[in-house]
Amino acid sequence: TPKYLKDYRPPAYWIDKIDLQFDLADDQTIVTSTMKIRRNNDVSDKLTPLVLDCRDLDIISVVADDMVLCSADYELTPETFTLPRVPELFVLEIKNRLVPHNNTALEGLYRSGRTFCTQCEAQGFRRITCFPDRPDVMTLFSCIITAEKKKYPVLLSNGNPVASGDLDNGRHYVKWEDPFKKPSYLFALVAGDLSCIEDHFTTFSGKNITLKIFVEHENKDKCSHAMKSLKESMAWDEERFGREYDLDLYQIVAVNDFNMGAMENKGLNIFNSKYVLAKTETATDTDFMNIQRVIAHEYFHNWTGNRITLKNWFQLSLKEGLTVFRDQEFSSDLNSRAVQRISDVRKLRTFQFPEDAGSMAHPVRPESYIEMNNFYTMTVYEKGSEVIRMMFEILGRELFRKGMDLYFARFDGQAVTTEDFVQIMEEASGIDLSQFRLWYSQSGTPRIKVKREYDSANRTLTIHLTQNTPPDHNQSEKKPLHIPVKYGLVSLSDSNGNSEPSGNSEPNGNSEPHRNPEQNDHILHLKEQHQTFTFNDIAPETRPSLFREFSAPVIIENDFSAEDLAFLMANDTDEFNRWDAAQQLYFMELKRIIGLLQDEKASNPDKTYNDMAPPLSEHLVNAFRESLCNTTLDRALIAQTITLPGESEIAQQYDPIDVDAIHRARQIMKQTIAEKLATELDDIIDLCSKADPEDLSHEAMADRSLKNIALSYIGSLDSTSSHQIIHKHYINAMNMTDKIGALSILCNSTCEESTLNQALAQFHLMWREDPLVLDKWFTVQASSTRPGTLENIKALTCHPDFSWRNPNRVRSVMSILGTGNPYIFHRKDGNGYAFFAEKIIQLDKINSQIAARLAGAFNHWKKYDLQRRTLMQQQLEIMVNTPDLSRDVYEIVSKALSA
């Protein structure tokens, strides 16, 4: 049964203090919890029972105020522990038994290899002990860990170590105390035999903080980038937001088995090792960037999440949207802002837009959930961050900072809501955000139609904007949103043009564009469904550049021609919009080719798309050449500009989706460009091959990204010589970026089976001992679109190095198939669907959280042709009718079916 936001009630009892003791052993763990409990007299009286959350706990003993209780004194169900009558203030001691090595859900206390570790967010603490497992119950924690000293020399929890020593039988203990109250989801424990890398950071008030990263001994040489990133994050949060770290110790532990990316537990972050470990031989440039971003994200949570936490889980975006915004700004300030924005928008468009249009669509602040873990979504995280970014744009940098300062001052130590956040921003700025709030409660991606009108007699340019959000199961009617449209006017005489609109020429009462002298000057405020903005004294041939830096998470339907787009690609001063103009140009051409393919098929049903090759427009090749050969541009930006939209991004423009035509059109585009621009591509590859393979500067990474994308064009050609070029690059690669880059191109080329197999075997032999590199070996094969890929994927899941118990390994094959390789997943015979559903059902027994993630691949089944739709529906039915299906998978599958 779902939980609803409208049913929220404050907790009936508070837990002022919890003292935990964990006695760890190989076969079992005994947990002893001693809680100081106090009735919340605001909402409870002496008749209010104490109900604690629990999940399948094996209770050994219960003592209330020194009275030993028997099992008749309390009520235990699989999910609750209830004491019917309790005093206003009392101490409750509960002892229970856990078997961490059997915990394959990786939630609560579990083992990753030999290491004990925990994951409590969102509701894992109840798998450890009975507790009001909700974020608005904030408690002081202490934690004693005891274990065999030889096997588990390192014993960690939140806060500061306050006592330690040896015990009998070769055991030892450490006692930890966290001076800050926290909700149970931020509790953490780690025990194992780990290496520690130590460093220090001096805060702006002169406090010396000890920084420790714990990893398996063999990974000691892969931590320096994570440590550097941590220090950069600490300095940046001081500089940009005035936030200082609050404990004397900051610890990070890397584990190999982890459901998500990382976890911000107070003073003891636990990370998926993918987001810690890196050296250039084993990690790609993208890995290095991701590590910097995720380290920062978890660090920033200390203020946005931990010091100020959530009143209930519906408010998740209060911490996640805001912290993603902060990590995006951090990455932008430290690296290239334009490249960062492009990659964030690509992610939003590829993953969040479809989510917002599918069966799992939900507002940034959801109103209900069946399984909370299913709501750690692109909408809560990425769209949530866009919502913060829009407030940042509407308020301007200074007022936004003023609002943040007020937020920290007002709510420190409290559990609050997104509404509290918006209110504080209004209070700090004096700007009315009442309509803006709809971004939190209304789901769906708004579509903005742009229509231009130029009056050459009066030299006025009029822009008509219309917004529409399609109805969905959350709201049958959508209201107009407050949408900030950052803009500029681009003409040859003054390509920086920013003239102000002369107000609103719409006759029927449309409001003036929102104006405030302290605000960013170059924003149009779209608030009505239709609004018109007129600019005076505008030269002919002036193009508006709208939604600069992607100022709102919307789908923009421009009225631009190919010439307009080529003009903006060349002349817009906004780097994001220059890139976006290129993307729009590719889309336009891809759609044209897809149309031609479908027409040809309609008149020749026996022909396959592979036998068709409609020619590419000359203007596209020319625009591509201009971008490729622009020597004044940052090469990282060139690389982004010459990257075509992915197949899933193209698919969003279609209903029904023709996966085969989309695949073929993109292939034709790549091959034609590769043929026509062979010399230019070769020159670029040469030019960009000079970087030192160990160099992680922006310039070196930019060169590699441009080289590898250029190589992928060459590799798309069906010729032995092009395969030889890629193979040579594979052999000569001196770091993982280039190695896996070339191998992945080979996997997608038409090269000889034997060439590919030899390269793959060589790679496997070299890296079989390194799980993160081996994940890449699985991934490049699962991403292939060569014939036989599905059969190969099936074989890969039976490979001795494959494991259903390791989330990274499962993702390296299954998530790639389900979301990264539509051409194979949506094979017309339905074998992709059947294999996928069968594995979801099996995986559900091991790790339902990961199984539910995979099940999302079926969320858009209604957007495909009848045959595929029917085949997907069949698999959804099989899943939903599986006995003992987890809540996690049930929610995804049942919502898909009923959408």
Q: Give the interface with ligand ARG as residue ranges (CB under 6 A).
A: 121-122, 259-260, 262-264, 297-298, 320, 373, 376
C-alpha atoms less than 13 angstroms from C-alpha of 328 in its C-beta half-sphere: 25
With beta carbons less than 8 A apart as the criterion, state whether 256 and 809 touch: no
Of the pair 121, 844, the CB lying nearest ligand ARG is at: 121
Minimal distance, residue 264 CB to ligand ARG, in Å: 5
* Among Zn ion, ligand ARG, none, residue 133 binds (CB under 5-8 Å by kind): none
CA–CA distance, 448 with 556 (Å, rounded to integer):
5
- Work out what residue 735 binds among ligand ARG, Zn ion, none; the CB cut-off runs from 5 to 8 Å by kind: none
Give which of ligand ARG, Zn ion, none residue 139 binds (C-beta under 5 to 8 Å, depending on kind): none
In 393-436, which ranges are E strands?
415-416
Coil vs helix vs strand at 824: helix
Q: How far apart are the first and last CA of the chain?
A: 18
Beta carbon nearer to ligand ARG, 318 or 552: 318
Can you tell me the distance from the alpha carbon of 142 to that of 163, in angstroms, rounded to the nearest whole number?
Answer: 11
- Residue closer to ligand ARG, measured from CB, 264 or 472: 264
The nearer residue to ligand ARG, 155 or 295, going by C-beta atoms, is 295
Q: Which residue has the tokens 């000359």?
A: 618
Give the total of residues touching Zn ion (CB under 5 A). Answer: 2
Rounded least distance, CB 384 to Zn ion, Å: 10
263 contact, one of Zn ion, ligand ARG, none, CB 5-8 Å limit per kind: ligand ARG
Angle at 289 (CA atoms; ends 808, 360), nearest 5 degrees: 55
- If contact means CB under 5 to 8 A according to the sort of partner, which of ligand ARG, Zn ion, none does residue 121 touch? ligand ARG
Q: Which partner in Zn ion, ligand ARG, none is near 260 (CB below 5 to 8 A by kind)?
A: ligand ARG
Tell me whether residue 272 or residue 716 sits nearer to Zn ion (CB atom). 272
Sign of CA dihedral 429, 433, 436, 442: positive
For every residue of 525-583, DSSP letters joined together read EE-SSEEEEEESS--TT-EEEESTT--SS-EEE----HHHHHHHHHH-S-HHHHHHHHH
**Which candidate, 375, 364, 464, places its Cα nearest to that of 421?**
364
What does each C-alpha distance from 704 to 422, 578, 737, 816 come to in angstroms? Answer: 42, 22, 8, 23
CA 509 to chain centroid, in Å, comes to 41
Site map (CB under 5 A) of Zn ion, residues 312-351, x = contact:
--------x--x----------------------------
Which tokens sit at 184?
Answer: 């149970």
Confirm whether 557 is a catalytic residue: no
CB of 207 vs ligand ARG, minimal distance in Å: 25
Three-class DSSP category at 655:
coil
C-beta of 262 vs 725, nearer to ligand ARG: 262
Distance separating alpha carbons of residues 480 and 442, to the nearest angstrom = 10
Q: Of ligand ARG, Zn ion, none, which one sits near residue 8, judging by CB under 5 to 8 A according to partner kind?
A: none
Minimum distance of ligand ARG from residue 107's CB (angstroms): 6
Which residue is catalytic, options 121, 216, 264, 298? 298
| Residue 803, burial from CB neighbour count under 10 angstroms (0-12, 13-18, 19+) | middle
- Minimum distance from CB of 135 to Zn ion (Å)? 13
Closer to ligand ARG by Cβ: residue 98 or 294? 294
* 298 versus 647: smaller Cβ distance to ligand ARG: 298
Residue nearest to ligand ARG (CB): 376
Q: What are phi and psi of 287, to 5 degrees?
A: -60, -45
Beta carbons of 515 and 504 less than 8 angstroms apart:
no
Q: Which does 122 bind (CB under 5 to 8 A by kind): ligand ARG, Zn ion, none?
A: ligand ARG
Half-sphere exposure of 635 (CA within 13 A, CB side): 20
Provide the residue type at 246 as one letter: D
Residues at the site binding Zn ion, with contacts judged by CB under 5 A: 320, 323
**Residues catalogued as catalytic:** 298
